[in-house]
Amino acid sequence: MAHALGYLAEHPLPSGIVGALGLGGYQLLADVAGVGAGRLGPQVFLLVAADPDPTLPDPGTQISLHHTRLKDDSELTAFTQLAAQLGYLRLSGYRLALERVGLRSKVAVVNPATGGIAATIPDKHPGGLFSFGGANNSAGRLLATLRTLPPAGPPPDLRNPELLRQVLLALALRDETIGGAEAAELADRALELTRGDAALDPPAALEAARSSR
């Protein structure tokens, strides 16, 4: 698998970007398949690791959809869910193509079956101090768009426990009532349930894990 669970925790933003944007000590809110959300005070943003390319040097973790003036917790939730959805799409076959724009990056969600760009995540969130764009590029609107995308290919091999746990975590983070730590615990319980009953698909396993809390 390209990005193991916890990849972003082990590969944080480069120190130069952290220093230039004043993000020292940011909190990692989600970490699924090399996609996550980070926060520091009123700033919130996506963190994205590039798809591996053996012909190119590793560009490191990059920052996208940087929002400098977070208004309320609903916006924060949208960022966490957006990161989880991007991670889920990557696990299901979509590619995430990054284009550097200064210190930040745009992210193209590419369907490998067609080569077409299904959605684009801008480098900056509309409404922030340095942002531009409009409502269509808000985290909530982008999340709604990504949730309508069809599968890019066959489902991931859920016989792989690490892959299954990332899928479970991505699905658990869709619930706006739970945080990252609780979602991780829920995914762990659901994973244990699938070991006892191989017929459980990820949504059913999560529902059973919620019921057993």
Tell me: the pLDDT tens digits for 98-128? 999 999 999 999 998 889 999 999 999 986 4
Q: How many CA atoms lie within 13 A of 194 on its CB side?
A: 24
Range of the structural domain that residue 196 is part of? 161-211
Query: Under 8 Å CB-to-CB from 159, ≥6 apart: which residues?
Result: none
Residue 61 falls inside a structural domain: yes
Question: What CA–CA distance (Å, rounded) separates 102 from 35?
Answer: 20
Closest to 124 measured CA to CA, from 142, 148, 110: 142
Phi first, then psi: give them for residue 22, nearest 5 degrees.
65, 45
Which pLDDT value is given to residue 101?
95
Strand partners, 35: 32, 48
Q: Does residue 156 form part of some domain?
A: no
Claim to verify: residue 131 and residue 193 sit in the same structural domain: no
Query: Looking at the domain assignment, is residue 171 inside a domain?
Result: yes
Q: Are 127 and 41 part of one and the same domain?
A: yes
**Domain match, 115 and 183 both:** no
Same domain, 180 and 207: yes
Q: Mind listing the pLDDT tens digit for each residue in 50-99? A: 988 778 778 889 999 999 998 888 889 999 999 999 999 999 999 999 99
Q: Is residue 2 part of a domain?
A: no
Measure the CA–CA gap between 86 and 207, rounded to whole angstroms. 22
Residue 155 lies in a domain: no
**Tokens matching residue 200:** 């459980």
Same structural domain, 139 and 87: yes
pLDDT of residue 134: 53
Beta bridge partners of 124: 66
Q: What pLDDT, on the 0 to 100 scale, is given for residue 212?
A: 77
Q: What share of the chain is helix, strand, coil (3-state, %, to 5)?
A: 40, 20, 40
Q: Identify whether the C-beta of residue 26 lies closer than 8 Å to the C-beta of residue 36.
A: no
Let me know whether 126 and 178 are in one domain: no
Distances (CA, A) of 203 to 93, 150, 156, 184, 191: 19, 17, 14, 15, 11
Same-domain pairing of 107 and 137: yes
Q: Do 141 and 165 belong together in one domain?
A: no
Q: Is residue 154 part of a domain?
A: no
Same domain, 132 and 35: yes
One domain for residues 17 and 111: yes
In a domain, 65, yes or no: yes
Query: What values do phi and psi take at 132, rounded to 5?
Result: -150, 175
Specify whether 13 is located in the same domain as 94. Answer: yes
> How many structural domains is the chain composed of?
2
pLDDT: is 150 or 53 the higher one?
A: 150
111 within a domain of the structure (yes/no) = yes
Band the pLDDT of 131: cuts 50, 70, 90. Answer: very low
Residue 180 main-chain phi, psi, to 5 deg: -65, -45
Helix (H, G, I), strand (E, B) or coil at 111: coil
| Same domain as 139, residue 168 | no
